[in-house]
Amino acid sequence: MNMPQNRLWVKKELRLLGSIQLMTSLIIQSLGYYWTFLYFSQSLVFGIGSEYFPVIGTSGYSLWSSLLYSISGSFSIVLQRRPSNNMLIWTMTMNILSIFATLIGVFLISFELILTSKLKTPLWQYRSARMLTQYLFLFTMLELLMAAIVTEWTYKARQTEE
C-alpha cells in the first residue's frame, strides 16, 4: 500500500529530516569518541579521575544512541524513496525509539553537567570534557526535535492512509 499522493510535501521534507538525523548521529558519535579518548588518555597521563566520574563515557551513550539515530534517519530516507505501509511503521517505530534514547541522553548529560559544575579544578581536561558534553547536549536536543517531527509526520501519514 503506498502513501497517498497528496502527502508529497511530507516526503520531500522527510528526506531532508532523515539526512539531518544521519549527520547528527555522526556528530554525536564523533563527540563521544573524542570525549572518551580525551578523558581516558588524560586520566592515565595526569592520574586524574578521583574527583570526576565520566557518566557519558562509561554509559556508552554516544555510541549506542548514534547507531539508533542513524538507523531512524536511514528509514526516513528510505520511506521517502519507496513509500509503503511497512516502511511507514518501521520509520515511526525507530523514531519513537530515538525519542526514548534522546530522553535517556538528556538525563545522562544533565547529570554529567551537574557533576562537573561542582568541580572547582582549573584542569583543562575537565573544561574540555564539560565543553564536549555541552555540545553533545545540543546535538541530542536537535535529534530529539528531528525524531519528534518525523514521528508526527509518519503518524499523520498513517492516519490519512487508513
Residue range 100-109, pLDDT digits in tens: 999 999 999 9
Is residue 39 over pLDDT 80? no
**Is residue 53 a part of any domain in this protein?**
no
The domain tally of the chain equals 1
**Domain containing residue 104:** 5-42+58-161
pLDDT at 50: 55
Does 49 reside within a domain?
A: no
Q: For residue 43, name the pLDDT band (cuts at 50, 70, 90).
A: low
How far apart CA 37 and CA 132 sit, in angstroms, is 12
Position with higher pLDDT, 61 vs 11: 61
pTM above 0.95, yes or no: no
116 compared with 89, residue with greater pLDDT: 89
Bigger pLDDT: 13 vs 107: 107
